[in-house]
């Protein structure tokens, strides 16, 4: 059974482990150390001004995501699902939960690695539309960014 809730500090070590496993799948394609070697201090700092959600499958943390509102734009990052639990709709459920939290935002914004075809397909399936390509970004990764408007764009 899948449950999504706000992360607690005691979840942080498991969040980092899952994040390392999920982003570790791209090692060799991209430089992933920024995501696979994040520290507890970093996630504690993030938790001060960002919302961190976790997904639990039968009581075990199997995924997470972080987001915050910047001027009406909900910025989403570090969506991670344990490789052993991928393909069960956990990433989609986390993204849908963000929309409930981000009711005061007019737009959702998320980026993924250009070669992460599974992620690209998921975002498209959830109604996100490509917004920009960011070549040679963090550690030379090529990113594609998506947006979804919660209210009509003006």
Q: How does pLDDT run across 47-69, given as a tens digit for each residue?
A: 999 999 999 999 999 999 999 99
Mean pLDDT to the nearest integer, 75-88 = 95
pLDDT over threshold 60, residue 79: yes
pLDDT for 107 equals 96
Q: In what order do the strands lie in the sheet with 129-134?
A: 2-6, 51-57, 60-70, 73-81, 107-113, 143-149, 129-134
Pull the structure tokens for residue 67: 């987001």
Overall pTM > 0.85: yes
**Whole-number average pLDDT of the chain:** 90
31 pLDDT band, cuts 50/70/90, is low
- What are residue 21's phi and psi, to 5 degrees? -65, -45
pLDDT for 4 equals 98
pLDDT for 29 equals 60
């Amino acid at each position: 059974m899948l449950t999504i809730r706000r992360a607690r500090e005691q979840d942080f070590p498991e969040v980092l482990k899952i994040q390392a496993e999920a982003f570790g799948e791209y090692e060799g394609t991209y430089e992933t150390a920024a995501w696979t070697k994040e520290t507890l201090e970093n996630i504690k700092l993030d938790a001060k001004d960002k919302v961190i959600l976790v997904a639990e499958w039968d009581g075990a943390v199997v995924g997470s995501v972080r987001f915050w509102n910047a001027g009406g734009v909900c910025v989403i990052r570090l969506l991670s699902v344990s490789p052993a639990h991928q393909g069960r709709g956990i990433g989609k459920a986390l993204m849908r939960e963000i929309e409930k939290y981000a009711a005061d935002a007019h737009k959702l914004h998320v980026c993924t690695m250009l070669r992460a075809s599974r992620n690209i397909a998921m975002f498209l399936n959830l109604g996100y539309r490509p917004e920009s390509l960011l070549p040679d970004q963090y550690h030379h990764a090529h990113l594609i960014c998506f947006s979804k408007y919660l209210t009509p764009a003006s």
